[in-house]
Structure 1
């Protein structure tokens, strides 16, 4: 990348351009005379592109006996000050738009410090999708509702649900209780 105004300063990333701008703006001279009239204007560098965040999630594949820990990329939405949760990129796991459930209580109704975000396909049973063997095994087959299709579980990094942290095997007891009680 280079400064589009003077074309004399080179940068390896938008972040470096942005961080060097306070120094570079004092020496930045436009390339041609048509731009000379804007020499005294304050020019700001382009905003940096939002970075994808990667977290671990739990994947319950219908054809597998055990859940898997996977990496999921999340795209930031809005600015940090807006407090919007990043959007998980899950299109590889679902056909169409998945539905979500936010699990806030664990075993015996105790509140979860880090709520769990469950993504699933509500139409899986209608499409003759096989029963999710990983959930069936986790619940020992006594779940009230047979879960079908893939299920992905992400973990919020706090009760305000502004972002995700890594989910893991420690979250399975709360999920098992939820899968068994869901009607």
Structure 2
């Protein structure tokens, strides 16, 4: 047992004497786990791990701060609006960057009826491959149930679509053909979407 563990030290946060320390570096003293948690943004910069030994007076080090949300521009086709509009969508990273997992768009608030489905559009006008595929989020229940026609989609297809789309549609744009991330969607993506909605049956 480390003899230092028997000696009281002042808590870094409040100064109260304690025999508990950070389990990672064993060099910072805290009287409660809450004090370590609160001081972690500062302490983590100086916290150098040591070889772990099981001791009862250690306080577990907080987990690393979660990756920050990524914000991208998406296209919203709201059923009650006459035109599509650009919105910002937050995406939560999944796994590590080296795993190559695409961030998860947080779009559930736009789909109150059911969990949305997705379609990945890889071809644009005249079947040309899209360099940046489009990720279309929609509610299948709205399509099946015959909800009100999406006026924004009806407008970009000039009402000539073989089948009318119903419900909310959100379109994100992948940052490349490997589909590991998103870039900002914009008005330049509307022709490919119009061609898709015209051809959908």
Under TM normalisation by the shorter chain, which class is it?
A: 0.7 to 0.9
On the 8 A contact 1:14/1:48 being kept in 2, the answer is no
Distance of aligned partners of 1:145 and 1:13 in 2 relative to their CA distance in 1, 3 Å threshold: farther
Structure 1 stretches of 5 or more lacking a match? 27-32
Which of 74, 83, 88 lines up with 2:91 in the alignment? 74
2:128 equivalent to 1:110:
yes
Name the larger-Rg structure. 2
Per chain length, whose mean CA-contact separation is higher, i.e. which structure has more relative contact order (CA < 8 Å, sep 6+)? 1
SS of match in other structure, 1:70: strand
How many residues are treated as equivalent by the alignment? 169
On the 8 A contact 1:135/1:179 being kept in 2, the answer is yes
Give RMSD over aligned pairs. 2.8
Following the alignment from structure 1 to structure 2, what is the Cα–Cα distance between the partners of residues 92 and 76? Answer: 18
Distance of aligned partners of 1:142 and 1:51 in 2 relative to their CA distance in 1, 3 Å threshold: same
Residue equivalent to 1:93: 110
Residue equivalent to 1:57: 74
TM (norm. structure 2) is 0.74
Structure 2 stretches of 5 or more lacking a match? 1-11, 14-19, 23-28
Q: Which runs of 4+ in 1 moved over 2 A?
A: 1-4, 7-22, 43-46, 125-128
TM (norm. structure 1) is 0.81
CA-to-aligned-CA distance 1:20-71 (integer Å, 9 cap, x gap): 323xx68xxxxxx953xx7xxxx97632212111111000000111001001
Which of 137, 143, 146 lines up with 2:155 in the alignment? 137
